[in-house]
Amino acid sequence: MSRRAAGALACVPVGRRPARRLGRVGPSHSPHHVSAALRCPRGSRCYLERQHQRLAEGSGYSFAIADAETDEAVGNIGLWTSHISTGRASTGYWIAPQHRRLGYVRAALSALTAWASSLDDVKRLELFVEPWNEGSWRAAEACGYQREGLLRSWQQVGTERKDMYVYSLIPVRD
Ligand SMILES: CC(C)(COP(=O)(O)OP(=O)(O)OC[C@H]1O[C@@H](n2cnc3c(N)ncnc32)[C@H](O)[C@@H]1OP(=O)(O)O)[C@@H](O)C(=O)NCCC(=O)NCCS
């Protein structure tokens, strides 16, 4: 992990400075968002509006990951709560290519996990990761998530069904 990312990170609700600049680092850099971005003629503006809607519709909390020293937006992380009535929430994230392998996601996931674990409604945190995505599952393991197994043909990504590792973390409260 870089020295900067280890201690200089902020998670900012999308819509506030510097999160507005998130559109410039671009959802189009993420394989998970590229198809949606391409479908939308307004590109990143449309992406940002969708992040706002998540809170309004109760589907989750979307944050920009920003470098606290430079105020630069480097990526996105969210806590997704569509299944919160069952006590389960999940998380997902991306970092723009030019900011990868500097420890940003590890730091952001650690912060998001600590916050989410403090919420009474959250009994289980989940993560779904494609097996090839070592950067993602290494970050998850570094933040205390445990691999529970491989979900075969779990999700449609583009034109293909994808297997996913499922990871979880059970918040421990006093
Ligand atoms: C996966 C992703 C979020 C990782 O973000 P990152 O900020 O580069 O990750 P970090 O620098 O915090 O690295 C986390 C760990 O993974 C390792 N790592 C990062 N990228 C890696 C790669 N491409 N291959 C192997 N290991 C990698 C790091 O060395 C670190 O390991 P350590 O904790 O043992 O030191 C980023 O590559 C990305 O945005 N990818 C595209 C979108 C995506 O896949 N999102 C996740 C969907 S589940």
For the Cβ of 103 lying below 6 angstroms from any atom of ligand 1, the answer is yes
User: Beta strands of 22-159 (E only): which ranges?
Assistant: 60-67, 73-80, 88-95, 124-129, 146-157
How far from 107 is each of 8, 77, 140, 152, 170, CA to CA, in Å?
9, 11, 11, 29, 19
Higher pLDDT, 14 or 5: 14
Structural domains of the chain ordered from first start: 3-169 (3.40.630.30)
Query: Tell me: the pLDDT tens digits for 135-174?
Result: 999 999 999 999 999 999 999 999 999 999 999 999 997 7
How many angstroms separate the CA atoms of 96 and 21, rounded?
12
**DSSP character for 16?**
B
Query: Tell me: the pLDDT tens digits for 78-115?
Result: 999 999 999 999 999 999 999 999 999 999 999 999 99
Q: Best mutation site among 3, 9, 34, 95 for ligand 1, i.e. most ligand atoms within 8 A of its Cβ?
A: 95
Nearest 5°: CA angle at 115, between 109 and 116? 85
